[in-house]
Every structure is written in structure tokens, then in C-alpha cells.
Amino acid sequence: MPTAPDPARRHRLTEDLLGWAEGVRADLPWRATRDPWAVLVSELMLQQTQVVRVVPRYLRFLASFPTVSDCADASVGEVVRAWEGLGYNRRAVNLHRAAREIVRLHGGVVPDHLDALLALPGIGPYTARAVLCFAFERDHGVVDTNAARFLARAVAGHRLTPRSAQDLADEVVPMGRGWAWNQAVLDLAAEARVKRAPRCGECPIASSCAWVRAGAEPPDPADGSAGTTRSQSVFAGSDRQGRGRLVQALRTGPVEVARVADVTGWPEEPERARRVADALVGDGLAEYVDGQLSLPGRIP
């Protein structure tokens, strides 16, 4: 079964996608910069968080930490406070750790090599390639779950493993147009090629889509491709909810250890609350000081 499109369909797919994107591309602040630090911040913020929530927080964060060194010199607690409203607070800790490593190893300059980016704390294959593509305009394929659906449906027409999805993504990036191509892929994935019931009739690349050209018969090639079927666990009543409540309280000041169960919302489950607090400490999001739980201070 062929994976990469033949040259004629590849050209048609490229022109259809980039032509559509040129007229609808959203005016987002991280698209107006090639500053690798700003791009890195945006990519970590956008993980599992809606764009509309990210925009104002991204602008405020960069106003407080405009450079890698500004973030590295701050305390973990200051970075976590600036992360308020974005959730998944461990990303803030990872960003701080990455900033410190960039200062230590790269003189405060975000590296422009894949291996160096992957070696930074909290930076995975997607984020590393996104920085290379969106900051340095390298022709890497950027693959998140939405892009993986695009690749499986439009490009390959069949299911893809994570490795084959990445290989295919790299192969089909038009030379010298990596920034525009990957932005277009992500925009289209959000616009028309949704997880369930893709709106093929409204899709601007339907005529060059491998799955549509084959009749769009089930099974959907996106199902099971490159980990796209993974789902988030229920939030209400979860440990994640308790963690979020506790971190939010810590943003305003230390919490007495004796009050941790009340703050997490589990007054009848003190052992569970303490376990969550211990996990925050283990993740670098909090520390115990004199019978209190607080956000971490500056790292020596």
C-alpha cells in the first residue's frame, strides 16, 4: 500500500493546502515572531490548552520573562505564578528547567539542533521540531495528534505508526516552505479534519486527499494512527483536580500541611491529599518548609 503521494498528487496537495491557508491563517502573536524563546514558550503553553486561553497569558508571560535568562534567573514559584490559568503546571517547571539548561549549556541561546533541543528537560519530539520549524524555518514535519490524523487521512490513506507518521511528515514538507506548510497542517486539522466525523465536504484538500479519493470508506485511517486514540481521563474528582486546587492556593501563599486536605477538596481523605502534595514536591512544583507547603524558591 503506497504511503507517500506520487509527484502529481503531492504537488496538488501542496498547492491546495497552502493556497487555502494563505487566506485563512489566524493572526496569532507567536506567528509574528521567529524568536526561538518565544516560540518555545508558545509551544509548551499550547499543549492541551485552547488557543483563546493561551494568547493573553503568552503575552503576559513574555512581558515578565522576555528572554531565556530572565526565566532562568527567576524562581520556580515566579514562573508557576505566571503560568496561572493554563493548567498542567508541570510544563511551567519544565520550561524553567529548560531555560536553566539553555543558559548553562548554550549561553542563553536556544539551540538550533534537534538533538540539543531533545536533550532539554520537558522537550519532546513535537516541541523540538516545532521550534526548529517555526523559529528557524527548518523543513521538519511537526506531528501532534491532529497532524497525525491529517497524515493518515490525506497523505497516506491508511493507519500510521508514530515512526512512520514522523517519517512521512518529514518527507512531504515542501522544500523551503516548512513554516507555512506546518502552520497550514495544524490549521486544517483544527478546522475541518476533526477527531470524529471529519467534515470532508468542507475540506479544501478533498480532491487531493488519499482517503477521499479512495471513497472515504471505513475504517477511518486516523483511528489508531500514531497514538491518536488516546483519551484524557475524567477530571472531576481526579487527583489532577486536587493538584490544580492546591497549586492555585499556593500561588497566593504557603499552605499549612494540616490544611492540605481541605485545600485539595478532600477533607475526609487526608492520606490522598498528602500523597498529591508529595507528588507536587517530587515534580518540583512545591516544597515543604517549616510545616508548610509552598511554591519553590530560587534554585542555587
- Residue from 15, 22, 43, 256 carrying the catalytic annotation: 43
What is the spatial distance between Cα 116 and Cα 110, in angstroms, rounded to a whole number?
Answer: 9
Contacts of 153 (CB under 8 A, 6+ apart): 193, 198, 209, 210, 211, 212, 220, 221, 222
Contact 204, 25 (CB under 8 A): no
Roughly how many angstroms between the first and final C-alpha of the chain, as a whole number?
56
Contact 257, 278 (CB under 8 A): no
R_g over Cα of the chain: 21
What's the grid cell of residue 287?
516544597
Residue at 5: amino acid letter: P
43 catalytic residue (yes or no):
yes
Catalytic residues: 43
